[in-house]
Amino acid sequence: MKNTALSATRVRMFRVGAILALIGAPAAILTDRTAEARVDLSSPAPVATSAAAVPTASSTETVSALDPAAWEDAAIGGIDTQVFETALKAAAAAIERGDVADPGTLTVIDFSRPSTERRMWVYDLRTRALVFDELVSHGRGSGLTMATAFSNVPESNRSSLGLYRAAETYIGKHGYSLRIDGLEPGINDRARERAIVIHAADYVNEKSARAQGYLGRSLGCPALRPEVARQVIDTVKGGGLIFAYYPDPHWLRTSKYLG
């Protein structure tokens, strides 16, 4: 009987030990999982990167591309050399001041030319190449054939001078369009407020320009031929620089990029 009682006691002790082991196991597992969770929380979360956000050229390289000497062997089209060099100077100054970074393109509009002539040029700053040579409208408040009056005031229906940065695209009443931000206080910095954008317009075409002696006019926007508008917009959007020129003494003297 002693042996039987002892055996029974050992069995009970074994069962109790087994139960205690089973009770302790989940706690251990939970402790391990908690530790793993703590490790995960302490690890930095992966950051998604976009290839588009990584500059393809340094600011120094871009500034060197804006040196007139870099274009000595390049075909720059029918643009006046002095106007082209003035645009390069303004763009280089904007980069050096930190107002823009690594623009891929430079668009120049010469409002000293009649609207019946091609007076807008788009240059690729990385390849030193002329990409587009186009007609472009001016605001109806700026003049008829020649644009001679410019404004930064809403409802003036006038074009504005100076340096702009091409921003985002959108679909509006003129279809696929591009918003631009003026970089010169008092000269063009109300462009977004005025809804000054690049868009296509049926009134921008060579046939009507020849027939009536002037190009159709906008409310201040640099409107383009429908056949090329989307291509131009997609080329310059997202950071390209746009420079609108006219030999206005006050602007040339006071511009933060030219004065």
Once rounded to an integer, what is the mean pLDDT over residues 127-141? 98
> Can you tell me the distance from the alpha carbon of 114 to that of 112, in angstroms, rounded to the nearest whole number?
7
Once rounded to an integer, what is the mean pLDDT over residues 157-184? 98
Same domain, 8 and 101: no
CATH (domain of 192): 2.40.440.10
Same domain, 66 and 139: yes
Considering the domain boundaries, does residue 30 fall inside one? yes
Same domain, 133 and 38: no
Backbone phi and psi for residue 175, each to the nearest 5 degrees, phi listed first: 80, -145
Higher pLDDT, 23 or 201: 201
CA distance readout (Å), 180 to 52, 67, 247: 19, 24, 22
Same domain, 241 and 125: yes
When mean pLDDT is compared across 18-32, 101-115, 180-194, the lowest value belongs to: 18-32
Considering the domain boundaries, does residue 81 fall inside one? yes
Same domain, 89 and 151: yes
Strand partners, 107: 122, 242
Same domain, 32 and 141: no
pLDDT, residue 173, reads: 95
> What is the total count of domains within the chain?
2
Residue 141 belongs to domain spanning = 57-254
On average, the pLDDT of the chain sits at 83
14 pLDDT higher than 80: no
Cβ within 8 Å of residue 55, ≥6 positions away: 101, 102
Considering the domain boundaries, does residue 52 fall inside one? no
Considering the domain boundaries, does residue 259 fall inside one? no
Strands 162-172 and 241-245: antiparallel
Whole-model pTM: value is 0.77
160 pLDDT higher than 90: yes
Same domain, 33 and 137: no
Same domain, 10 and 67: no
20 pLDDT higher than 70: no
Same domain, 24 and 121: no
Same domain, 141 and 242: yes
Considering the domain boundaries, does residue 128 fall inside one? yes
Same domain, 35 and 123: no
Same domain, 150 and 238: yes
Question: Six-digit token pair at 106?
Answer: 């430079």
Considering the domain boundaries, does residue 192 fall inside one? yes
